[in-house]
Chain A
Amino acid sequence: MNTTTLAVLVPLLPFLGAAAGLLLGRRSPGFTRPLAVLPTLAAAALAVLVAVRQGGERPISASTRLTPTGSVPVDLALYLDGFAVLAAVLVGVVASCVQIYSTAYLRDDPRYPSYAALVSLFTSAMLLVVYSGDLMVLLVGWEVMGICSYFLVGHYWETPEARAASLKAFLVTKLGDVPFLFGLFALAVDAGTFRITGILGAVATGAIEHPTLVALLLLAGVAGKSAQFPLHTWLPDAMAGPTPVSALIHAATMVAAGVYFVARLLPVFAASAAALTVLAVLAAITMAGAALAALAQDDIKRVLAYSTISQLGYMSGALAVGDRGAALFHLLSHGAFKALLFLAAGVVIHAAGTNSLAAMSRMSGLGRRIPDAYWTMAIALLALVAIPPFAGFFSKEAVLVAAERTALGESAAPVAAGWAVLVSGLLTALLTAAYATRLWLLAFRGRGPGAPDHGRQPAVMSAVLWALAVPSLAFGLTAGFIGDWFDGRPLQPTLTTAVLGTGVALVGGLVTYATWRHTTALASRVPNGAAAHPEPHRKAEPPVSEPPVSPAVAPAPEAVTGREPAYGDIGAAPEPADPGRLLLGPLHRPAAAGFHLDAVYRALFVRPVTAGAELVRFLDREVVDTYVRGAGTGTNWLGWLVRRAQTGNVQTYLSALLAGSVVLAIAVVLVAAGV
């Protein structure tokens, strides 16, 4: 089979798996697991094969046109360059890990078949986005991902939080998708084609007439999908979905799609300095703001969610300074360690029986209970903090180097964008170290009674964790040659940024550690009861049901009851040992609430829309319906009046008839006489 056929099979296999899983899921549950895992694994293997064959050489482009579609043709096109094949490998690997992990994690979930099929469909859509060489086909995958994320985030639809979160994820991403669609059309009309090669050619010859407008419209969709400020609010709420879904969304698929899209069409964005500046400012705000918010979160998954937003800010920043190689590099390494973080967090949550970091900090020995998760999570956090030689160090350095070069005027991107990304990136590195340290300390260095024993986690899950730990550790070593797969620009760290970046990270980590020592000392002096958590023992996130858990305890209801307190009030737990509270000071409360952006949106959009709906309802019920009812009542009264004439008296009828005849006759006579 040639490379093109293999590449076609990559998105096709998970799709077929999803279709088969949906069809067979209820009837033959035995097939569900193989149908979920095997196609995804095969797709991952094929993606690796395609990547090896492509080898970072000249892009492979193939297309077929099924049918003429009007003025601008739509092709089923493949466009395999270094970006595409590597991103596909990431998607395939992470999706395989998630599928394998889910077989254990959602073992007793009654809706596992549909869940697995949707994850497969999600994977397939993302692979389509990655490989597609035609923007219309890309859009198909893009929208399929949107609807899949809606279903998956709402997996626990019994809970109101999950319903609200899935709706929010859908609506916010759609809010970005509308301008995105317009942008695509504007781009295609200017370039005369939806093919990426054609568009890039048009950009090279300057055929795009309104690059700024097109780029800004596309950026709206990218911001929605990739959770960039100001459309990022759906991502923290999307934590209401199962943890593996969070891993999938955050690491490889949904949020990666936006960054990947910009990377693919970077020349279009680079044609407009304004668009790049806007992107840089958004990226700077996103990365720093999300890192601050992450420092204040209590829910471990929300910490990771804000961390994702922050890291996506790095990628957008890299794109804003015109270095898509760095962006993709960071996307790949981030995909590995963020998937690891989420999957390990699932284990931690299960072992601790709570989502809350504050509650975990009152348990001791959590790390000993789950050594695999403990070690792998430590590795992933080190990678996140960008300590050498972990993967995150190299990729983040690549971003910072690119920003530095731009700031010093060595690249085509605006200098202001470079400075914004560089300064914000260093600040975020500091904050990242702080929240990562806080997360680790609170989760694994808690003081108090021992963590409850839930038994060993399944071997499958541990295996997945260690499998993902390998790239988190070692992926950075590819920095020397992976640049050849992208634009050929070297991605090695330079001395200045390496020292700067690692330095601020170390400072952040040490300051947090010192604060933690201080606060724990304070907390230990407070009597134990005074610091009592409002909810003494929160229930576990249930899905892993170990052998000791009797099958009579149905997972789904437990999920319903167990979830609510975890998503109750974010900043409600007064935890004296929390270093984030001391570090952030007065910023803590707004940061915990995501800087009240949701409230702003509520005031700006939700209330006017609700008020408008009320007004429309009033107009409909009171005004329009009055006319409608009036028409009915009027006719009724008219009918009643006319019925009064139906007296049954023949003479009356005859009188009326003859009177009419006389009037007509007189009229005729008058007309004939010409009066």
Chain B
Amino acid sequence: MHLVYPAVLSVLLFCTGLYGVLARRNAILVLMSVELMLNAVNLNLVAFDVWLRDALHSGQALTLFTIAIAAAEIGIGLAIVLMVYRNRGTSDIDRLRDTAEGREPPGGPAPAEKAEATA
């Protein structure tokens, strides 16, 4: 089998996941897209492992580890999303903007505030 097929499939899956991470609003959907990206990487690992016929099969071992880590990640991630939802009443990523800069016009903030901001 040509290596190009699994490689291209993995690229496309990865980019699909990328799009999902960047475009989805709901945090859980973003997590799903992350899973897609992880799986794209897994596919790549397996394909190259098979192609290289590695004696240690490090590709497959790493795939297993990735799956385990992905499971841990989804658990932690979901816990965080749940807590955010509980505290904020929403799980929409673009509404969680506590790190945004103020929108006052130039010259507005007093020097003391600037000093605090730079400190």
Contacts and interface: CB of A to CB of B under 8 A. Distances in A.
Interface of A: 633, 636-637, 639-640, 643-644, 646-651, 654-655, 658
Contact of A648 (B23, B98, B105): B98
B93 A649 contact: yes
**Which of A637, A639, A640 has most B Cβ within 10 Å?**
A640
A646 B18 contact: no
Given A636-B107, A643-B101, A649-B93, 13 more contacts: A633-B107, A637-B106, A639-B106, A640-B105, A644-B101, A646-B99, A648-B96, A648-B97, A648-B99, A649-B94, A649-B97, A650-B93, A650-B96
Contacts of A633: 106-107
Contacts of A640: 105-106
**Which of B97, B98, B102, B106 has most A Cβ within 10 Å?**
B106
Nearest to B97: A648
Contacts of A648: 96-101
B97 A647 contact: yes
**Which of A633, A647, A658 has most B Cβ within 10 Å?**
A647
Contacts of A643: 101-102
B100 A646 contact: yes
Contacts of B94: 649, 651
Interface in B17-47: 18, 21-23
Contacts of B102: 643
Interface string B61-103: 0000000000000000000000000000000011011111111
Interface residues of B, number: 17
A646 B101 contact: yes
B26 to A, nearest CB: 12
A651 B97 contact: no
A646 B102 CA distance: 9
A658 B99 contact: no
Nearest to A634: B106
Nearest to A636: B106
Given A636-B107, A640-B105, A647 B18 contact: no
B18 A658 contact: yes
Given A636-B107, A639-B106, A640-B106, A647 B93 contact: no
B101 A651 contact: no
Contacts of B22: 651, 654-655, 658
Interface in B103-118: 103, 105-107
Nearest to B98: A648
Nearest to A642: B101
Given A647-B100, A648-B100, A649-B93, A654 B21 contact: yes
A37 to B, nearest CB: 61
Contacts of A654: 21-22
18 contacts: A633-B106, A633-B107, A636-B106, A636-B107, A639-B106, A640-B105, A644-B103, A646-B99, A646-B100, A647-B97, A648-B97, A648-B99, A649-B94, A649-B100, A650-B93, A650-B96, A651-B23, A658-B22
Contacts of B107: 633, 636
Interface in B43-66: none
A640 B18 CA distance: 30
B24 to A, nearest CB: 8
Nearest to B105: A640
B113 to A, nearest CB: 13
A217 B18 CA distance: 85
Contacts of A649: 93-94, 97, 100
B93 A651 contact: yes
Contacts of A647: 97, 100
Nearest to A640: B106
A298 B20 CA distance: 102
5 nearest A-B residue pairs (beta carbon) = A648-B100, A648-B97, A646-B101, A640-B106, A643-B101
Nearest to B108: A640
A655 B22 CA distance: 6
A646 B101 CA distance: 6
A222 to B, nearest CB: 58
A338 B100 CA distance: 86
Contacts of A658: 18, 22
Nearest to A659: B22
A649 B21 CA distance: 13
Contacts of B23: 651
A658 to B, nearest CB: 7
A291 B95 CA distance: 96
Nearest to B21: A654
**Which of A633, A639, A646 has most B Cβ within 10 Å?**
A646
Contacts of B99: 646, 648
A637 B108 CA distance: 11
A633 B107 CA distance: 8
Nearest to B104: A640
Contacts of B96: 648, 650
Nearest to A655: B22
Contacts of B103: 644
Contacts of A651: 21-23, 93-94
A633 B105 CA distance: 12
A654 B19 CA distance: 11
A644 B23 CA distance: 20
Nearest to B102: A643
B81 to A, nearest CB: 13
B114 to A, nearest CB: 10
A644 B99 CA distance: 12
Nearest to A646: B101
A652 to B, nearest CB: 8
A655 B99 CA distance: 17
A655 B93 CA distance: 14
Contacts of B21: 651, 654
A449 B107 CA distance: 76
A651 B96 CA distance: 11
A546 B15 CA distance: 108
A636 B102 CA distance: 14
Contacts of A639: 106
**Which of A651, A654, A658 has most B Cβ within 10 Å?**
A651
A115 B29 CA distance: 93
Contacts of B105: 640
Contacts of B106: 633, 636-637, 639-640
